[in-house]
Amino acid sequence: MADVSVDDLFDAAVRIQLLERSIVVSFDADNTIRIKFPITRRFAEFLGIPHYLILRSFALMEQEDLVTKAERAGIVTTAKGSRKMIGLMRERYQKEADGILGKVIFEELLRKIM
């Protein structure tokens, strides 16, 4: 069984967040936008694939500076990962993201990352 692609994981993350109606956004001291990823076991369940494949894919995403492990927060996006995730929300799921975050907040996130 092959690893899950980065694009597929980001898409799954957005779909899980929209399905659960929960998008957790935080800002670092340097104003970097961070978005909390669902737990890896939730990805495995959602995608119907073994957990070890998710872990391997997350290790690759960490090497590509898309996500990082945050103490007591789980896996969160880096600045590069946030641009990718918010861009994906805009391209494929804007109506749903507007519905959860609110149009003003979503537009502000887009403005900050672009």
- Is pLDDT of 33 > 70? yes
Task: Specify the CATH number for the domain of residue 107.
Answer: 1.10.10
Residue 74 domain-assigned? Answer: yes
**pTM, rounded to two decimals:** 0.89
Q: Is the pLDDT of residue 72 over 80?
A: no
The verdict on residue 49 lying in a domain is yes
> Position 98: which residue type?
D
- What pLDDT digit, counting tens, does each position of 53-68 carry? 999 999 999 999 999 9
Contacts of 56 (CB under 8 A, 6+ apart): 3
Q: Say how many C-beta atoms besides its own lie within 10 A of residue 6's C-beta.
A: 17
Residue 1 lies in a domain: no
Cα–Cα distance measured from residue 37 to residue 26, given in angstroms and rounded to the nearest whole number? 12
Q: Classify residue 5 by burial, with Cβ atoms within 10 Å: 0-12, 13-18, 19+.
A: exposed
Of 87 and 2, which is predicted with more confidence?
87
- Say if 64 falls within a structural domain: yes
Query: What is the domain count for the chain?
Result: 1
Residue 57 located in a structural domain: yes
